[in-house]
Amino acid sequence: MADLLHHHKHHDPTNQGIVSVPHGPETGDDHASYPYAHNPDNEKAIFAYLLHPDDSYTPEGVYWADLPIHKRIAFVAKTDNQEALKELRSIGSMMKKDPLSPIGWYLRNAVLPGAGLGLESYVLFSIGNLTPLFQAAWPACWKSFKVCNEQWVNAVTYLEVVGIIVGQILVGIIGDGIGRRWGLIQDAMIMLLGLIMLVASWGTSLNGWVVCYAWSLFVYGIGVGGEYPMTATAAMENATGSGRVSTKEDRLHRGRNVTTAFLMQGWGQFFNQVILIILLLIFHHGSGNPPYSKVATQWVYRVSFAIPAVGTLWLVYYRWYKMPLASKQLNAIKKKANVTGYDLQSLKLTFYHFGPRIFATAGGWFCNDVFFYGNKLFQSQFIKVISPTSSNNVMTGWLWNLLNVGVSLMGYYLASFLIDNKNYGRKWMQQLGFLMDFILFVVPAFHYKYYTSIEGIHAFQAMYFLSSFFNQFGPNAVTFLVAAEVFPTPVRATAHGFSAAIGKCGALLASVLYNYITTQQKFYVVPWFGLGGMLITAIFLPDTTGLDLKEQERRWEYIRSGRESEYHGVAVHKQHLSLWERLRGIGKYYDPELDYQSKINDMRADWEAKQAEKQTNEDGLASEEDEYNAEVHSYFHATGNNSPFLKPMKQQQPSTDSDDMNEKAAS
């Protein structure tokens, strides 16, 4: 920014020469000698592309959310179409040079950032997939509970969810206190430890093995929990950068960048199901039909967990050596606020100013996880309704689930495609997803006998798959994004981790409750969480679609310095505030003209601070050198050696063994 302001130049029509704009966005009397110093139009021309980028403002400087609805729709459509055309041209240029280069780009920008989520999803949803196989191979343990304790069998799902909750809160705090990079590395290492335990788990009895299996999942769950806040914050902040000025890529594609990493969760489910099918065919002599031998089940179980262990080991390496700048934005914010360690003041201010947002992100995630984990962890029970024969044939249930995962992936990708569209975006997407899940569960709840009969089974099947689609194309993707997006950088991981942990309480509720109620009763219970999630979203969640994240950080600087009423920017525009915040009058400070002057002043303050820091560093280096020279000359004076040929900066070199031998020989 400083270089940009310092070197920006204008053509002078009077002198037919080039004159420099004042150092920094200064327009005061000290720069009266500059011909354009007091020209507001000239100032706006200089800073328009910084303060009023064309993807968010009209040529007249009107913010897109201030436009009448018909003009807003046209502006958004034009901007998105231009960006889409630009991206298509870029893809075309890449393919001319290398036809496979778009694949490489996708691997670097979507697969790698979401690798941790893909691996944890693979393991997480193995539980629901492996349970039918365990029940078929060890019915006395997993079905009738004659040789295994029923509570420990049920604890397999409980303990994993508890581990996730612990990891989300703990690693969220660590990620804000120590840094994103260490949080990412730590997650991968804990997941690796958990996978080693899963592969090696054993017991002197079947019940002993179940106990070991459950505690291994608890350890693994801690790493899984940490992946949520760390992946979300890292993916968002790496795209945003640490300076005051954001990029067009961030403004137009921030949501896509985060959700493309998040949708690796869907691919984790997909590959888990595919690999389990392949392993069962390999170890069960090419057949997926019962009965299933205990040896084949052991091999399927252990190899299926050994595969992600290899991937997680690579993830540890990648995060350790290839992500040195993961904490760059967090460090920049802390440095500016003169904070080291955990920023407790920001945490207190966040709960005070953004308490309703925490309720929105945590409450929405809770409602979503009753749907999501109820659907996934106990999907075998739902599939039995669709395909009654799957109760005896594990392969049949797995194939139905594979189809369901494919439908879910379509929802993930469509969410990624539309989540940054200003005419639709985060809030509408989450509300629609909750509403559709409510409808698709409440209809079969009150007509259960018909929809599970031969006449209605296909309609039931369609509703079940559509519920999976709208869950991904809605609350499951949006909750992950907004829980990081609506909070300031210093406590972003903590707020995200807390929201996710409350969400997992919904998963815990589902995992406990679903063990004690029938399938039909589940349909009576679940829909109301969809309705509740929709209402929480409508009232308490702000819409950050199209909001420059740097503006939110700028507003936070004003809040932290006790000047909330002096912020007049778009972060308090009614478009980006929740209904609750608007009713409280937070949007009353929005004023584009006052905000323009505030931005100029903020940029000037940034520039002057950087110049002062630069001068301080230069003076510090000079004073250190002067102090060193003074000490050297004092030494010479004390020893009586004032030879001008002795160089103060010359350092004594350490002697080598050969030097010592030569000195001894000379003596």
What is the rounded average pLDDT of the residues 421-449?
92
Per the CB < 8 A criterion, the answer to whether 500 and 175 are in contact is no
Per the CB < 8 A criterion, the answer to whether 11 and 18 are in contact is yes
How far apart, in whole angstroms, are the C-alpha atoms of residue 139 and residue 125? 21
Q: Is the pLDDT of residue 4 over 60?
A: no
**Residue in 362, 338, 331 with CA at minimum distance from that of residue 177:** 331
Point out which residues pair with 9 in neighbouring strands.
Answer: 20
User: pLDDT by residue (tens digit) across 374-391?
Assistant: 666 456 556 667 666 666
What is the rounded average pLDDT of the residues 415-433?
94
Q: Is the pLDDT of residue 655 over 60?
A: no
Identify the pLDDT of residue 29. 42
Strongest mean pLDDT among 63-77, 384-398, 449-463 = 63-77
Per the CB < 8 A criterion, the answer to whether 576 and 544 are in contact is yes
Tokens representing 30 are 């000290």
Of the candidate ranges 68-72, 301-305, 454-458, the one whose mean pLDDT is the lowest: 454-458
Q: Is the pLDDT of residue 666 over 70?
A: no
Beta-carbon contacts of 377 under 8 Å, excluding residues fewer than 6 positions away, are 125, 127, 128, 157, 507, 510, 511, 514
Identify the pLDDT of residue 45. 66
What is the rounded average pLDDT of the residues 480-498?
91
Q: Is the pLDDT of residue 13 over 50?
A: no
Identify the pLDDT of residue 374. 60
Count of alpha carbons within 13 angstroms of residue 660, beta-carbon side:
4
- Helix 394-418 and helix 457-471: axis angle, to 10°? 40
Count of alpha carbons within 13 angstroms of residue 282, beta-carbon side:
12
Strongest mean pLDDT among 275-279, 344-348, 598-602 = 275-279
Above pLDDT 70, what percent of the chain?
81
Per the CB < 8 A criterion, the answer to whether 485 and 447 are in contact is no
Tokens representing 340 are 């080291």
Work out the pLDDT band at 367, boundaries 50, 70, 90. very high
Identify the pLDDT of residue 380. 58
What is the rounded average pLDDT of the residues 275-279?
94
Sign of the alpha-carbon dihedral angle for 161, 167, 170, 173: negative
Work out the pLDDT band at 619, boundaries 50, 70, 90. low
Question: How does DSSP classify residue 517?
Answer: S
* Mean pLDDT of the residues in the chain: 82
Identify the pLDDT of residue 244. 52
Identify the pLDDT of residue 282. 93
How far apart, in whole angstroms, are the C-alpha atoms of residue 49 and residue 166? 45
What is the rounded average pLDDT of the residues 333-357?
84
Q: Is the pLDDT of residue 581 over 50?
A: yes
Sign of the alpha-carbon dihedral angle for 170, 173, 177, 182: positive
Tokens representing 227 are 């992946």
How far apart, in whole angstroms, are the C-alpha atoms of residue 123 and residue 585? 46
| Exposure class string for 218-228: b at 16+ Cβ within 10 A, else e | bbbbbbbbbbb
How far apart, in whole angstroms, are the C-alpha atoms of residue 400 and residue 112? 29
Q: Is the pLDDT of residue 490 over 70?
A: yes
Work out the pLDDT band at 518, boundaries 50, 70, 90. confident
Of the candidate ranges 18-27, 232-241, 268-277, the one whose mean pLDDT is the lowest: 18-27
How far apart, in whole angstroms, are the C-alpha atoms of residue 488 and residue 485? 8
Identify the pLDDT of residue 652. 40
**Residue in 503, 495, 416 with CA at minimum distance from that of residue 233:** 495
Above pLDDT 90, what percent of the chain?
44
How far apart, in whole angstroms, are the C-alpha atoms of residue 219 and residue 46? 55
What is the rounded average pLDDT of the residues 464-473?
90
Q: What DSSP string describes 308-369? A: HHHHHHHHHHHHHHS-TTTTHHHHHHHHHHT--S--HHHHHHHHHHSHHHHHHHHHHHHHHH
CA–chain centroid gap for 134, Å, is: 34
Identify the pLDDT of residue 181. 85
Work out the pLDDT band at 537, boundaries 50, 70, 90. very high
- What domains, with CATH codes, occur in the chain? 2-51 (no CATH), 52-90 (no CATH), 105-540 (1.20.1250.20)
Of the candidate ranges 12-26, 30-44, 163-177, 335-349, the one whose mean pLDDT is the lowest: 12-26
> CA 169 → CA 345, 402, 493, distances in Å?
18, 32, 9
Q: Is the pLDDT of residue 269 over 80?
A: yes
User: pLDDT by residue (tens digit) across 220-263?
Assistant: 999 988 888 888 888 777 655 545 556 788 889 999 989 998 99
Identify the pLDDT of residue 487. 92
Identify the pLDDT of residue 513. 82
Q: Is the pLDDT of residue 636 over 50?
A: no
Identify the pLDDT of residue 625. 55
Q: Is the pLDDT of residue 2 over 50?
A: no
Per the CB < 8 A criterion, the answer to whether 451 and 506 are in contact is no
How far apart, in whole angstroms, are the C-alpha atoms of residue 53 and residue 39? 21
User: pLDDT by residue (tens digit) across 100-149?
Assistant: 999 988 988 888 888 888 998 898 888 888 988 999 999 999 988 999 99
